[in-house]
Structure 1
């Protein structure tokens, strides 16, 4: 249950709220400062290190167009954020997630069948 503030408690409550807003603002500022690092362009050696792969493996993935890459002349460059997204896209669903999707699909299929 929410606490009802009295008039005398308002200054303290406003101070607490201001402190919380300051904390949120600082978190957002810190996050923005980290964002440019995420957009860092990396040469193939750093990308291989980031992915924990051998450089020849990264080259072969580039040749098979399996990995996001930027090419300038003969040089290959990788954005950290694109590599992170690439890694996330390979996530395998858990058995529970697959089961839940199946239940939702069956439920929506039965609703469609009833509509006809």
Structure 2
């Protein structure tokens, strides 16, 4: 007899609280969708962080190379050598020698 009363009470609760059960199901569905969306967003952001870290690493390497290049050009002997070789400027006291290629005609 006690089993019947519990069954009857359970039936009354379900019938009288159908809106609560429906609300809990809808809430669970919305919560599940939100969790999946958050996980997707977290993965996207983690990927973006790793890409940015890689870019930072490459930029730091480039910065090191440029610093070394700037230090190289701080030497006056390097600047003088570049002016002589690249621009053809000759300091006082130096002799400029130019070589030209001679084209020969072959007699066939």
Q: TM bucket by the smaller chain?
A: 0.3 to 0.5
Q: Is the helix fraction higher in 1 or 2?
A: 2
Structure with higher RCO (Cα < 8 A, 6+ apart): 1
Structure 1 or 2, whichever has the larger Rg, is 2
Q: TM-score, normalised by structure 2?
A: 0.40
Q: Which has the higher strand share?
A: 1
